[in-house]
Amino acid sequence: MQLKNARVIITGASSGIGRAIAVEFGRRGARLALASRDQSALEEAAAAIKTDGGSAVVIPTDVTVDGAVKEMADAAIRELGGIDILVNNAGIGMTAPIADASSADVDKLFGLNVIAAAAAIRAVIPIMRAQGSGMIINISSMAGRVVIPRIGYYSASKFALAAIGDALRMEEPHRGIKVMNVFPGTTQSSFGENRLGIRGRQAHQVLPPVSAEKVARRVAQAVERDLRSVYISWFPDRAGLAANWLAGWAVSGVLRWWARRAHL
């Protein structure tokens, strides 16, 4: 799929990875519909994209509200004439031991990271089927590949999003619909500041984060190369995944040590 003239919805487009993807896709000629709750930030992002020669419209949306993603999709179709790509980026983090997390935080986490993302997929699939083409891009996490203590609920939500993407990829290829799951590691953004549960730097965040712009470039390249799974860095992302596969016992031992250390 080429990004030039592709009609793209990006959720969570007002900051972080979502905004960076919007800017990168805009530079490559995509026509963008930017969605999030923060209208002023969306308008600023759209203005920056247009100044750089791109095309963007703003669709303020709280994806956790019943019916909101259907309205978002309908608005994008009206504005763009169709939908070629959905970037399921809206999400929130959470740090809390499994036994100590609040039920309200757990509900909010899964409501945004899983339920709303799945609703967005269901909202755009009919137009993609009618067109005979489309792509779903789910922004998961390395925590959706390797379970990490104290972010277990977040990890579970990102495993769930990746599983939804993997199942959809098997269900829709004959209709021309492709699915890409993206697995960023720790990224420079306000994501950590907005997380649910415990705030502050966590024990597993021992390596310097990558920039949101690097994530965006990798996603854009992956679209044009028709990749199914996207990792941002060889180290620690791919190396960590390989170590978990080859020597899971050792990785688990290190993570248990981190979990104990966090309680000291």
Catalytic residues: 154
Closest CA to 29 of 63, 6, 60: 6
Q: How far apart are CA 92 and CA 110, in angstroms?
A: 9
Closest CA to 91 of 4, 39, 15, 202: 15
Closest CA to 5 of 138, 133, 117: 133
> What is the length of the chain?
264
Tokens 């199942």 belong to residue: 167
Which CA distances in Å does 248 have to 149, 204, 205, 251, 256? 14, 16, 19, 5, 12
Give the CA dihedral 15, 20, 23, 27, nearest 10 degrees.
180
Which CA distances in Å does 209 have to 153, 192, 215, 233? 21, 11, 11, 10
The residues, ordered by sequence, that sit 6+ positions from 79 with a Cβ below 8 Å of its Cβ are 33, 57, 59
Within 81-221, strands assigned E span: 85-88, 94-95, 134-139, 177-183, 187-188, 196-197, 210-211
